[in-house]
Amino acid sequence: MYRKSKWKCGYNLVVLGHGNNEKSVPQILIRDLKFEKKSLAKLMFSPDQENHPSKAPVKYGELIVLGYNGSLPNGDRGRRKSRFALFKRPKANGVKPSTVHIACTPQAAKIGRSTESPIDFVVTDTVPGSQSNSDTQSVQSTISRFACRIICERNPPFTARIYAAGFDSSKNIFLGEKAAKWKTSDGQMDGLTTNGVLVMHPRNGFTEDSKPGVWREISVCGNVFSLRETRSAQQRGKMVDNETNQLQDGSLIDLCGATLLWRTAEGLSRTPTVKHLEALRQEINAARPQCPVGFNTLAFPSMKRKDVVDEKQPWVYLNCGHVHGYHNWGNKEERDGKDRECPMCRSVGPYVPLWLGCEAGFYVDAGPPTHAFSPCGHVCSEKTTAYWSQIPLPHGTHTFHAACPFCAHQLAGEQGYIRLIFQGPLD
């Protein structure tokens, strides 16, 4: 058990997953900032900012949950949302290790709940393609309670570091009876959460030149280890001395049930905005793409209606990339599932509606939406589809696969994405 220092304080952020009841809600606690050197409480703004309140507070970055296209299925409410921004708090509340106790039973300590005061951010287990929060609540969560915390430096460059496990409302860290734990050479206690906190830092940052890094596991003290044989194995991996727990723009954090993308404030400043994506949508619609069969004009629906199929909605044949409106051509009863024959090239394969990727934080560039993930049909730039199609995301206890960041569906096909072929107006 770790105790919060009375002379260190910080910024709290917690992510939770759903269990079968309120008491089993798993959580991720994020604590921000190094300890305060002044005895007086620091104001939210510097003196200059106080005289000029129009100046925005310092932003460290944002956590974005993979599998949601701009918001939760039923909308973002309170602490339950698809992304969370970390800002500089009025005063620091960093923590340090203190007394270590061995609890006889888990019942001896309070179990974390989503209503507790340390919690700033709540997220359910991600179910690929879920259309409502009820889709996730029936799933037995695999995220550890108080799964992790993040500490951010108050001064530039505002370095953020991640640690496994978090503090509960009694300011203690409790690890499960079966969780791996040990004493370090300097006498400190260290350990891992039951199913682990995994981190992957992309090479070359989060840009159009990004390449996937190596997944590692982070301990309570922030040490870096190679992965265990399975997520819940009691034998920890080997320590990786030449790597740190410092997050960088584009780092992925996996909690065995939900995966988060960390974007720094600087990185977000180079990312396309929602307004830019809306301008691209209008530009595509202004080109008046047509269905080669019905000759009707196609149009992507408003980003506010990103989950509702519209009568002008573009559809695509995933094997060839030809874009059509919805029609019944080539829909033969003997064909299994959703496979259809493209009237342009006669290739047979899935036929799905196209959806614009509305979560700007997932884009690695500001390129036009010319490609779509397969089999879900989410549309974004070519380099964005190429990047996510090569990222192995943890799945279950010991497998990895690439998935669409907008809906978490496992990618299929040779590349996991296709180039879209639109037909322009005949006039």
Q: How many CA atoms lie within 13 A of 336 on its CB side?
A: 0
**Average predicted confidence (pLDDT) for the chain:** 79
Structure tokens at 237: 């991996």
Long-range contacts of 68-71 (CB under 8 A, 24+ apart): 68/126, 68/359, 68/406, 68/407, 69/306, 69/307, 69/355, 69/357, 69/358, 69/359, 69/378, 69/406, 69/407, 70/274, 70/303, 70/306, 70/358, 70/359
Confidence of residue 261 (pLDDT cuts 50, 70, 90): very high
Do residues 260 and 253 lie in contact, with contact meaning Cβ atoms separated by under 8 Å? yes
pLDDT at 55: 66
pLDDT at 185: 87
Confidence of residue 385 (pLDDT cuts 50, 70, 90): very high
Contacts of 220 (CB under 8 A, 6+ apart): 2, 163, 164, 165, 173, 175, 189, 190, 191, 192
Question: Nearest-CA neighbor of 218 among 209, 227, 229?
Answer: 227
Across the chain, which distance is largest between two alpha carbons, in Å? 78
Do residues 114 and 122 lie in contact, with contact meaning Cβ atoms separated by under 8 Å? yes
Least confident span in 78-82, 179-183, 194-198? 78-82
Quick check: 50 pLDDT over 50? Answer: no
Query: Hey, what CATH topology would domain 274-419 get?
Result: Herpes Virus-1 (3.30.40)
Least confident span in 6-20, 141-155, 352-366? 6-20
Contacts of 195 (CB under 8 A, 6+ apart): 142, 143, 144, 231, 232, 255, 256, 257, 397
**pLDDT > 90 fraction of the chain, expressed in percent and rounded:** 48
Quick check: 334 pLDDT over 50? Answer: no
Confidence of residue 10 (pLDDT cuts 50, 70, 90): very low
Least confident span in 39-48, 278-287, 294-303? 39-48
Domain definitions of the chain by residue range: 57-129+140-270, 274-419
Q: Three-state SS across the chain? A: CCECCCCCCCEEEEEECCCCCHHHCCEEEEEECCCCCCCCCCCCCCHHHHHCCCCCCCEEEEEEECCCCCCCCCCCECCECCEEEEECCCCCCCCCCCCCCCCCCHHHCCCCCCCCCCCCCECCCCCCCCCCCHHHHCCCCCCCCCCEEEEECCCCCCCEEEEECCCCCCCECCCCCCCCEEECCCCCEEECCCCCCEEECCECCCCCCCECCCCEEECCCCCEECCCCCCCCCCCCCECCCCCCECCCCEEEECCCCEEEEEEHHHHHCCCCHHHHHHHHHHHHHCCCECCCCCCECCCCCHHHCCCCCCCCCEEECCCCEEECCCCCCCCCCCCCCEEECCCCCCEEEEEECEECCCHHHCCCCCCCCEEECCCCEEECHHHHHHHCCCCEEECCCEEECECCCCCCECCCCCCEEECECECCCC
Can you tell me the distance from the alpha carbon of 19 to that of 140, in angstroms, rounded to the nearest whole number?
5
| Peptide bond preceding 375 in cis form (omega within 30 of 0) | yes
Structure tokens at 175: 């690890």
User: In CATH, which of 3.90.1300.10, 2.60.120.260, 2.60.200.20, 3.30.390.50 is domain 57-129+140-270?
Assistant: 2.60.200.20
Do residues 367 and 385 lie in contact, with contact meaning Cβ atoms separated by under 8 Å? no
Confidence of residue 386 (pLDDT cuts 50, 70, 90): very high
pLDDT at 416: 96
Structure tokens at 53: 């309140």
Quick check: 315 pLDDT over 80? Answer: yes
Confidence of residue 318 (pLDDT cuts 50, 70, 90): very high
Least confident span in 98-107, 215-224, 322-331? 98-107
pTM exceeds 0.85 for this model: no
Per-residue model confidence as pLDDT tens digits over 88-131: 888 887 666 666 666 555 454 446 445 566 666 766 677 776 65
Question: Nearest-CA neighbor of 415 among 379, 370, 378, 375?
Answer: 375
Is pLDDT larger for residue 28 or for residue 224? 224
